[in-house]
Structure 1
Amino acid sequence: MTRRPSSARPGRDLLRVYLNDHLTAATSGVELLRRAAGARRGTALGPPLAALAQEAAQDRESLRRVMAALDVPEKRGRAALGRIAERMGRLKLNGRLFTRSPLSDVLELEAMRLAVEGNACMWRSLRAVAAADGRIDGVRLHELLRRAERQLRILETLRGERAAEVFAPGAARTTAARP
């Protein structure tokens, strides 16, 4: 049964759904980053992915604090769906049946980038809420948005480098060797 927003508080009800949707996505993103960092331990991708995984977990906690400040209850079942969604994402077609494909890195980096872009959009949206509701720290939202933008730059660099290695391995070395 779908619950309709009450006419007295449609914005509040929609914000509750919105924040819980983002919490579900954040849970999935943290799981993906942690798994990718573990799979790439000992490679050039390992350390930046591990650092991003730690930041993503901190960002998820920041979202939980915002939700608590706004008295938005956390739908724990939905967070479990985020974990399940990340595990289902592992079943993607990548040209290999039982082993990781080099394509897996590219696809996962793209998914991570999309997740961080979603976070950035959420922090931007919450700035509008903060302007009307003193329970949210607008300065902290600004910091979180700046961090998301930095994370996007890191992920885009990693994604671009890995795509060049996977799709045009000779071109990446040739380009780097040019004066």
Structure 2
Amino acid sequence: MYSDKLGIYLNDHLAGATFGIGIARRMAHQHRHSARGADLARIAEEIAQDRETLLQIMDSLGVPARRYKIYGGWAAERLGRLKPNGVLYRRSGLSTFVELETLRLGVEGKTLIWRTLLVVATKGGQLDESQLRSLLDRAREQIDTLEAMRITVAAALFSDRGER
């Protein structure tokens, strides 16, 4: 039962990581020529690396990746692109703002899995605690970067002369 619950939990986070990679890569591509481009590209690459690490951890724990969860994360990201943004035919500043918030929330969730796996590591000894601490530190840095971007976009978007 313990491994079943852990398997469900890890696969749920795998779906979230799949969603996160999609949104992060799309944002990095859309903002590649902006001041935020390099940071978004770095974060997208790190999220992809973290997803691969999660898959390796799952393998080391004998937890199979559930394809339907992976496809669900992929589909959710694609469907999320259909959200209304107040502009009919192009992106608006609100799109960027909401995507930054969504990405930040996803990275917050990633900190939770690394913290949870630190608890699992102390009980089972199958996981590398120093690796998990490094992943947690990197996620915190990503949160700080995304929050700085989010605040900058919010200031521009919601000011009297902000983008509409």
4+ residue segments displaced more than 6 Å = none
Q: 1:134 aligns with which of 115, 125, 128?
A: 125
Q: Where does residue 118 of structure 1 map in the other structure?
A: 109
CA distance in 1, matches of 2:81, 2:36: 18
Residue 77 (structure 1) shift: 2.1
Query: Corresponding residue for 2:141?
Result: 150
One-letter code aligned to 2:25? R
* Matching residue of 1:104: 95
- Point out where structure 2 has 5 or more consecutive residues left out of the alignment: none
Q: Do residues 68 (structure 1) and 56 (structure 2) align?
A: no
Residues paired across the two proteins, number:
162
Q: What do you get for the CA RMSD once the two structures are aligned?
A: 1.2
Task: Say whether residues 1:84 and 2:78 are aligned partners.
Answer: no
Aligned to 2:36: 45
TM-score, normalization by structure 1: 0.88
Percentage identity across paired residues of the two chains: 46
Question: In structure 2, how many angstroms separate the alpha carbons of the residues matched to 1:153 and 1:95?
Answer: 28
Q: Which amino acid aligns with 1:166?
A: L
Distance, in Å, in 1 between the alignment partners of 2:50 and 2:160 is: 35
**Counterpart in 2 of 1:59?**
50
Structure with the bigger RCO (C-alpha within 8 Å, sep 6+) is: 2
Q: Does 1:165 align with 2:156?
A: yes
The superposition leaves residues 101-156 of structure 1 with CA deviations (integer Å, 9 ceiling, x where unpaired) of 11001000000000000000110011110001111111100000000011000000
Quote the Cα distance in structure 2 between the aligned partners of 1:18 and 1:91.
28
- Give the CA deviation at 1:169: 5.9
In the other structure, the counterpart of 2:6 is 15
1:31 matched to which residue of 2? 22
Structure 1 residue 81, shift from structure 2 partner: 1.2
* Residue identity matched to 2:130: V
1:78 shift after superposition: 1.3
| Alpha carbons of structure 1 residues 134 and 156: separation in structure 2 relative to 1, 3 Å | same
Unaligned 5+ segments in structure 1 are 1-9, 172-179
Q: Which has the larger radius of gyration?
A: 1
How far apart, in 1, do the equivalents of 2:107 and 2:157 lie?
A: 23
Change (3 A) 1:136 1:169: farther
Q: Deviations over 1:44-100 (max 9, x none)?
A: 121111110000000001111110110000012211111110010001111012210
TM-score by length of 2: 0.95
